[in-house]
C-alpha cells in the first residue's frame, strides 16, 4: 500500500505540518517550508517505506508532489 502525506501551512500555529493523509496523524512539524523541503528531509521523515508527499503553497494551493520509493520498491 502506498503511503500518502501532505505538507501544508497551519495558520493557527504558523508552522508547516506534514500529515499522513489517511490517518490525519501529524508526522512532523517544521518552522519553515524550506526546513521541510530541504534535500533529504522529507525522505528521512517518512522513512524506509517511502510514499508520496503533496506540497501545498501557504494559501493551500497544490504546488508539487514528491515521490520517495520504499525499500521494497527497489
Tens-digit pLDDT profile for residues 25-60: 999 999 999 999 998 999 999 998 899 999 999 999
Query: At residue 73, does pLDDT exceed 50?
Result: no
Please tell me the number of Cα atoms within 13 Å of 17 on its side-chain side: 14
Predicted pLDDT of residue 22: 93
Q: Are strands 26-30 and 51-56 parallel, antiparallel or unpaired?
A: unpaired
Reported confidence tier of residue 16, pLDDT bands at 50, 70, 90:
very high
> Are 32 and 13 contacting, i.e. CB atoms less than 8 angstroms apart?
no
| Mean pLDDT score of the chain | 92
Query: At residue 71, does pLDDT exceed 70?
Result: no
Closest by alpha carbon to 2, among 68, 60, 74?
68
- What does DSSP assign to residue 33? H
Amino acid at each position: 500500500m502506498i503511503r500518502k502525506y501532505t505538507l501544508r501551512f497551519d495558520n493557527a500555529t504558523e508552522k508547516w505540518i506534514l500529515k499522513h493523509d489517511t490517518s490525519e496523524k501529524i508526522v512532523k512539524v517544521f518552522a519553515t517550508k524550506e526546513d521541510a523541503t530541504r534535500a533529504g528531509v522529507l525522505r528521512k521523515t517518512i522513512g524506509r517505506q517511502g510514499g508520496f508527499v503533496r506540497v501545498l503553497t501557504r494559501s493551500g494551493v497544490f504546488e508539487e508532489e514528491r515521490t520517495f520509493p520504499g525499500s521494497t520498491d527497489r
